[in-house]
Amino acid sequence: MSTTAAPPPPLPAAVPQHPRRRGLRDLLTRVWHEVRPTSGAGLLVCATGLVLAGAGVAHLGVQAVDGGAWSGPVSWRKPVVFGLSLGILLVTVGVVLRWVSGSVRRWVAGLLAVGSVVEYVGIASQRWRGVPSHFNEATAYDSAVFGVMAWAVGVIVLAVALLLVVTALPRRFTGGGALRAAVLAGLGAVLVSSWVGGRMIAEGTEVVAATGAVPDSVVFGAQGSAKLFHAVGQHGLQLLLAVAVLLRLSGAPARRSLTVTLLAAAGYAGVLAGVGASALRGESWLALPRSLLLPGLPGALLLAVAGTVTAVHVVRWSRGLADEPAAVVG
C-alpha cells in the first residue's frame, strides 16, 4: 500500500508593513547611518559621553532616594547636570569626528575624554563626600580637587578649539558647506560658554573671598543668569548640527542647505546674544528686558523659519520613504 506525503501547509500571506511605521523606521535608520561614529576616535569619545550621561542619570536616581535640596553648593544636581551636559557634548563631537580626517581626531578625542572624565570625577566625588565641588578650598585636598577641575576644563577648551580650527580647514573637514557652518557656529558658541564659565569662577571666587562662604549660585550683577548664558552657549552645537544633518539626508540642494543652516546659525547667535546681554547687564531674563528681546526675539524668529524649512524637507523625504516598495514579512 503506497502512501503519499501530505502537502505542506500554505505559507501565511505576505503582510506589508504599515507605510508610516516603515517610513519612520527607514528615517531613523538613515539618520543613524549618517551620524554614527566611523573611527576609533569617534567611538572612544561617544562611549565616554554615554558613560558620563549614564552616570548623570544614575545620580538622578540617587537624588530620588536620598532626597535633599536640588540647588545649592552641595546637591545631587551637579553630578546629574554635569554628567548629562558633558555626555551630550562628547557624543556630539563623536558625530563631528566622522567628517574630520587625519590623526588630529585622536588628539581631539583623547583630550576631550580625559578632561571630561577628570572634571566629572572631581564634581561627583566631592558630592559623595558631602562638600562643595566648586570654590571649595577649606582643606588642602579640597583646594587640590578644585585646581585639578580647573585644569580639566582647560583641556576640554583646548580640544574644542583644536576641533574648531580643523573644521575650518577644507582638506581636513569633508562634511560639506552646511555641516561646516553648523559645526563652526556651534563650537564657537561652546567656546563662548567656556568664557562664561571662567567669568562664573571669577565671580564665585570673589564671593568666597568677601564672605568666606561658597555661594549657592553665581549670578552676574543683581540678577543676571550666568547659568542660562552658559547653558545656551553649551548646547547650540546639537541644534545646528541637527538642522544640517536633516537637510543633507532629505536631499535638499547644497546651496539651500547652506542658506538654511546659516539662517539657523544667525538666529541662534541672536538668542545667545540676547541671553548674554541680559546676564552681563545683571537683568533677570524672566523680566524680558530689552537687552534680551532686541537681539533675542529676531533670533528666535530666524530659528523658527529655519526649523520650519527643515521640517518641510524632512516630511517630504519621509513620505517618499514610505512610498518606496516595501519589503514583506512572511
- 18 within some domain: no
pLDDT of 124 strictly over 80: yes
Query: Are 168 and 219 within one domain?
Result: no
What is residue 243's predicted lDDT score, i.e. its pLDDT?
95
- 228 within some domain: yes
- 189 within some domain: no
Q: In this predicted model, what pLDDT tens digit does every residue of 176-197 receive, in sequence order? A: 899 999 999 999 999 999 999 9
What is residue 15's predicted lDDT score, i.e. its pLDDT?
45
Cα dist from 194 to 33, 166, 309, whole Å: 31, 19, 31
Q: State the Cα–Cα distance between residues 237 and 9, nearest whole angstrom.
A: 57
Instruction: Output the nine-digit C-alpha cell for 55.
Output: 552616570
Query: Are 226 and 301 within one domain?
Result: yes
Instruction: Output the nine-digit C-alpha cell for 328.
Output: 514583506
What is residue 177's predicted lDDT score, i.e. its pLDDT?
92
pLDDT of 28 strictly over 70: yes
- 30 within some domain: no
- 261 within some domain: yes
Query: Are 108 and 52 within one domain?
Result: yes
CA atoms within 13 A of residue 81's CA, in its CB half-sphere: 13
Query: Contact at 8 Å (CB) between 148 and 178?
Result: no
Query: Are 94 and 159 within one domain?
Result: yes
**Who wins on pLDDT, 322 or 174?**
174
Query: Are 57 and 149 within one domain?
Result: yes
The percent of residues above 70 in pLDDT, for the chain, comes to 90
Query: Are 166 and 47 within one domain?
Result: yes
Q: State the Cα–Cα distance between residues 109 and 46, nearest whole angstrom.
A: 9
What is residue 98's predicted lDDT score, i.e. its pLDDT?
93
Tell me the three state secondary structure of residue 173. Answer: strand
Q: State the Cα–Cα distance between residues 164 and 41, nearest whole angstrom.
A: 16
**Sign of torsion, CA 36 42 44 45?**
negative
What is residue 142's predicted lDDT score, i.e. its pLDDT?
93
Residue 310 is given by DSSP the state: H
Query: Are 236 and 151 within one domain?
Result: no
**Who wins on pLDDT, 325 or 313?**
313
Q: For residue 217, give its domain range.
A: 211-322
**26-30, 247-251, 274-278, 286-290: range with lowest mean pLDDT:** 26-30
From 149, 174, 199, the end of a domain falls on 174
From 174, 203, 226, the end of a domain falls on 174
Query: Are 145 and 222 within one domain?
Result: no
Mean pLDDT computed over 29-40: 84
What is residue 216's predicted lDDT score, i.e. its pLDDT?
79
Mean pLDDT computed over 5-10: 54
- 92 within some domain: yes
Q: In this predicted model, what pLDDT tens digit does every residue of 238-263 receive, in sequence order? A: 999 999 999 998 888 999 999 999 99
pLDDT of 327 strictly over 50: no
Query: Are 47 and 169 within one domain?
Result: yes
88: confidence class by pLDDT, cuts 50, 70, 90: very high
- Written as one letter, the residue type at 2 is S
- 186 within some domain: no
What is residue 8's predicted lDDT score, i.e. its pLDDT?
53
What is residue 1's predicted lDDT score, i.e. its pLDDT?
47
From 127, 147, 174, the end of a domain falls on 174
pLDDT of 32 strictly over 80: yes
- 153 within some domain: yes
147: confidence class by pLDDT, cuts 50, 70, 90: very high
What is residue 19's predicted lDDT score, i.e. its pLDDT?
52
Q: In this predicted model, what pLDDT tens digit does every residue of 65-85 receive, in sequence order? A: 988 888 888 999 999 999 999
9: confidence class by pLDDT, cuts 50, 70, 90: low
Query: Are 151 and 217 within one domain?
Result: no
- Written as one letter, the residue type at 47 is A
Query: Are 244 and 142 within one domain?
Result: no
pLDDT of 29 strictly over 90: no
Query: Contact at 8 Å (CB) between 308 and 247?
Result: no
Structural domain count, the chain: 2
pLDDT of 111 strictly over 80: yes
Contacts of residue 142, defined as CB under 8 A and 6 or more positions apart, other chains included, come to 126, 131, 136
Query: Are 285 and 240 within one domain?
Result: yes
4: confidence class by pLDDT, cuts 50, 70, 90: low
